[in-house]
Amino acid sequence: MAPSRVRAVDYFTAASPLSRPIADSTHQIPAINFIVTRVTLEDGTTGEGYLLAFHFNPAAIRGALADVKHLALGWDTNDTRGFDQACDREFEYFGAVGLLRWARGLINVAMWDARGRQAGKPIWQLIGGRTEAGRVPVYGSGGWLSYSDDELLAEATGYVRRGFTAIKLKVGAREGIARDLERIAKVRAAVGPQVRIMIDANQGLDLPQALALARQARIHGIDWFEEPLVHTDFAGYQALKREAGIQLAMGEREFDLVALRELAERKALDLWQPDLLRLGGVEGWLDSAALARQHGLPVLPHYYKEYDAPLACTVPEAYGVESFDWVDGIIDRPLRIERGYAYPSAEPGWGFSFKAEALRELAG
């Protein structure tokens, strides 16, 4: 075997030190949990990847991980695109998207980490050949509907005190858009006029609700509206874009590029939000970013700041990355964020590892 081939694949679970129940417009989430994978190469080099699992489908996740592990063993990490294609061929019968693509993405991310560590280069340099990563805008995310007003304002003002210049909060309150507007107004008053505010409905609204909220929220200077509608409602996005007068963002639910093509052709989208894990890893993320740029859509990736910041630094005019603090306490080198920007690490691979004490071996 070549020294870049995978000798072993191990899976672990981890929980955020900030774990507590949260809720958006469509889900009650009891805990913030992750799945971590570690690949070991023939020369002993290791690489890690993680996915945000929450509490969903644990048995199905374990099955998907086992199937992908079978293909990963013995694979050359210098051929991650070939690995992706092999997985898709193998999984076609029951469907290569969904959990199987997510599991594929987890291994892909770990392979890239091992590849970077073996080469002694950070991921952004492997991809772009650059000598400096630069920086990318970052926004603070949260604003969960389960928060009290005091918790909401504490989080928003806390982000501002830490130097964030943009924040996002959830909308789609069960009390209706009047409650959403009340929360937005409170946040705007607390953070002042210079901080950008974005809103995220997590697909929880219908078209009339989304249109009414978008129109009324404009007085608060909302920068963009994320996932106002079900992600397959292309006609709805087109109508909302035409009438709402606010930027629309979506993409985190997509396992392929169908929605991006459909919405771009309808001129129904302003910002593309690729999810690294759902798109199956680095190649899927980069392919989606390239297609978005062909249509003049800036890239604004979903959730994984430790991965998205270095990836975004390889994409011209990336709009920004999303920041949660959830893994910061369980990794050795959290992403540096200062004055509204994220700075990718110059360390090999993704530039961080999970602390050994934070990991628990995943039972089969």
Give the model's pLDDT for residue 238.
Answer: 97
DSSP letter for each residue of 268-283? --SEE---TTTTTSHH
User: Domain segments of the chain: what residues?
Assistant: 6-120+356-361, 128-343
The answer to whether 249 and 202 are in contact (CB under 8 A) is no
Distance CA 81, CA 254 (A): 19
Give the model's pLDDT for residue 128.
Answer: 85
Q: What are the b/e assignments for 298-333, b being 16+ CB within 10 Å?
A: bbbbbbbbbbbbbbbbbbeebbbbbbbbbbbebbee
Asked if the domains at 6-120+356-361 and 128-343 fall in one CATH topology, the answer is no
For 127-133, which contacts have Cβ atoms below 8 Å and span 24 or more sequence positions? 127/282, 127/286, 127/311, 127/314, 128/313, 128/314, 130/313, 130/314, 133/310, 133/313, 133/343, 133/344, 133/346
Distance CA 259, CA 100 (A): 19
What is the pTM (predicted TM-score) of this model?
0.95
State which fold the 128-343 domain adopts: TIM Barrel (3.20.20)
Give the model's pLDDT for residue 1.
Answer: 52
Q: Residue type for 296, please?
A: G
Query: Helix/strand/coil (H, E, C) string of 203-270?
Result: CCCCHHHHHHHHHHHHHHCEEEEECCCCCCCHHHHHHHHHHHCCEEEECCCCCCCHHHHHHHHCCCCC
Q: How far is CA 336 from CA 51, 269, 305, 342, in A?
A: 20, 30, 10, 6
Distance CA 303, CA 173 (A): 22
The pLDDT tens digits along the chain (364 residues) read 568 999 999 999 999 999 899 999 999 999 999 999 999 999 999 999 999 999 999 999 999 999 999 999 999 999 999 999 999 999 999 999 999 999 999 999 999 999 999 999 999 999 986 767 789 999 999 999 999 999 999 999 999 999 999 999 999 999 999 999 999 999 999 999 999 999 999 999 999 999 999 999 999 999 999 999 999 999 999 999 999 989 999 999 999 999 999 999 999 999 999 999 999 999 999 999 999 999 999 999 999 999 999 999 998 878 999 999 999 999 999 999 999 999 999 999 999 999 999 999 997 6
Range 6-120+356-361 has CATH code 3.30.390.10:
yes
Name, in order, each residue with C-beta under 8 angstroms of 181's C-beta and a sequence gap of 6 or more.
213, 216, 217, 220
Q: How far is CA 20 from CA 16, 142, 354, in A?
A: 9, 13, 20
Give the model's pLDDT for residue 3.
Answer: 87
Give the model's pLDDT for residue 61.
Answer: 93
